[in-house]
Amino acid sequence: MMNRLFLKNATVYAEKERIEQGYVLVEGEKIVDIGPMSSQPDVNGATVIELDSHHFVVPGFIDIHIHGAAGADVMDATTDALQTMATVLPKEGTTSFLATTMTASSDLIERALQNTAHYIQFHNRPGEAEVIGIHLEGPFISPKRAGAQHPRNIMEPNIQLFKKWQEAANGYIRLVTLAPEEKNGLELTAYLKEHGVVASIGHSDAIYEEVKAAIQAGITHATHLFNGMRGIHHREPGVAGAVLMHDEVLCEIIVDGIHVAPEMVRFAYRNKGSDGMVLITDAMRAKCLGAGVYELGGQEVIVQGEQATLQDGTLAGSILKLKDAVKKMIEFTGCTLEDVIRMGSWNPAKQLGILERKGSIRAGKDADLVVLNQEYEVVMTFCRGKLAYSK
């Protein structure tokens, strides 16, 4: 008998509408029906979850840029590390994510890719956040914009090496952060586009004209807007200016109030709107652990309060939780919960080409559901129909 779930009486943020006093019916891993309680279906044999109008049922969040959490890191290249991430992320409403690598030696990157591919094939299971692919961040970046990526391991963009890595990853590399202005950068960008991989400009020192050429070559994404890129100058719009002005580029943004000032989050939102942005955490292993000294991509990271930095003060990833990015985005910009769902669920699913099963609440899609209260705190998370977290 297939496991059935019936969430009732909540405000449901469905794909096409908001249903006050609505329900969601789940069978196995899928949503089978949604609607108003006035047209309640037969729920015989279902586990009934009684909610109320103060609860919002929203689609699970998709974090397409995350390195680690709770002491684990994708670069550890172990099943345990990915398992730890998959187990803790539903607490913040994240139901799927791209395992994100770092600029490291070729061997270490390859090990992390093989490990993630193996995990996706054999260890993804309902009740845990799903690893939906890999985000290769570096090593094809600009030495001038290394940020917390280890400068010793930066390499020129290289199609042959990428092919080898994609083979090691069993085709699961879905997104690549690169500096297209570097030698062979435009060639790699065009190759990625041709092979259905999202090419993202990031850790880049490109000037406006170089970004324009890169967009023509196939850039459709920008990695953590404003961070690790040439900023806006009134005589040279830089990477940040170019991606804000081109609607074909979807911008990631780290909304923790540290990586980007609240005013600049608002500025970006005014330019891109909820259709042009995606909320990410860029979190590292220190997330969920508190203050201390940690490791990221072979470098020491000091965590104090809400901030993670290298010894020289360079920001080194974040310890942000996606549920907090949601709250801060609403606070900084005055956007609606619908807007946040766009940026946290729909846009990443659309960008990765998985809208047929993720990114919104609709019959036939994966039952990746988050129940929020009026303070936007996570009350429950379901990953593919199975309870993954309950407050």
Closest CA to 47 of 10, 1, 6: 6
CA gap 49, 322 in Å, rounded: 24
137 in a labelled binding site: yes
Distance of CA 26 to the CA centre of its chain: 25
Looking at the fold, whether 120 and 230 belong to one and the same domain comes out as yes
CA gap 76, 82 in Å, rounded: 9
Is 356 inside any structural domain? Answer: no
Looking at the fold, whether 38 and 66 belong to one and the same domain comes out as no
What pLDDT was estimated at residue 91? 98
Looking at the fold, whether 39 and 142 belong to one and the same domain comes out as no
112 in a labelled binding site: no
Looking at the fold, whether 225 and 296 belong to one and the same domain comes out as yes
81 in a labelled binding site: no
Number of domains in the chain: 2
Active site members = 282
**How would you write the pLDDT of the chain (391 residues) with one tens digit per residue?**
679 999 999 999 999 999 999 999 999 999 999 999 999 899 989 999 999 989 999 999 999 999 999 999 999 999 999 999 999 999 999 999 999 999 999 999 999 999 999 999 999 999 999 999 999 999 999 999 999 898 999 999 999 999 999 999 999 999 999 999 999 999 999 999 999 999 999 999 999 999 999 999 999 999 999 999 999 999 999 999 999 999 999 999 999 999 999 999 999 999 999 999 999 999 999 999 889 999 888 889 999 988 999 999 998 889 999 999 999 999 999 999 999 999 999 999 999 999 999 999 999 999 999 999 999 999 999 999 999 999 9
Is 321 inside any structural domain? Answer: yes
What is the per-residue burial (b if ≥16 Cβ within 10 Å, else e) of 148-173? bbbeebbeebbeebbeebbebbeebb
Looking at the fold, whether 42 and 79 belong to one and the same domain comes out as no
169 in a labelled binding site: no
Looking at the fold, whether 88 and 230 belong to one and the same domain comes out as yes
- 46, amino acid identity: A
313 in a labelled binding site: no
Looking at the fold, whether 267 and 338 belong to one and the same domain comes out as yes
pLDDT tens per residue across span 51-89: 998 999 999 999 999 999 999 999 999 999 999 999 999
CA gap 161, 283 in Å, rounded: 26
150 in a labelled binding site: no
H helix runs in the chain, sequence order: 79-88, 106-122, 159-168, 185-194, 208-217, 238-245, 262-272, 322-333, 337-341, 347-351
Looking at the fold, whether 40 and 71 belong to one and the same domain comes out as no
228 in a labelled binding site: yes
Looking at the fold, whether 8 and 79 belong to one and the same domain comes out as no
CA distances from 311 to 148, 257, 302, 308, 316 (A): 10, 21, 7, 10, 10
What pLDDT was estimated at residue 367? 98
Looking at the fold, whether 158 and 278 belong to one and the same domain comes out as yes
Please give the residue range of the domain that contains residue 131.
61-351
55 in a labelled binding site: no
What pLDDT was estimated at residue 1? 64
Contact of 31 with 368, CB cutoff 8 Å: no
Total count of residues recorded for the chain: 391
Is 270 inside any structural domain? Answer: yes
What is the per-residue burial (b if ≥16 Cβ within 10 Å, else e) of 24-42? bbbeebbbbebbeeeeeee
CA gap 365, 145 in Å, rounded: 39
Looking at the fold, whether 378 and 330 belong to one and the same domain comes out as no
- Provide the CATH number for the domain around residue 67: 3.20.20.140
- CB neighbour list of residue 278: distance below 8 Å, 6 or more residues apart: 64, 250, 251, 252, 253, 343, 344, 347, 348, 351
Is 386 inside any structural domain? Answer: yes
Looking at the fold, whether 213 and 252 belong to one and the same domain comes out as yes
Contact of 338 with 19, CB cutoff 8 Å: no
pTM exceeding 0.95 = yes
What pLDDT was estimated at residue 39? 94
- Provide the CATH number for the domain around residue 13: 2.30.40.10
What pLDDT was estimated at residue 299? 87
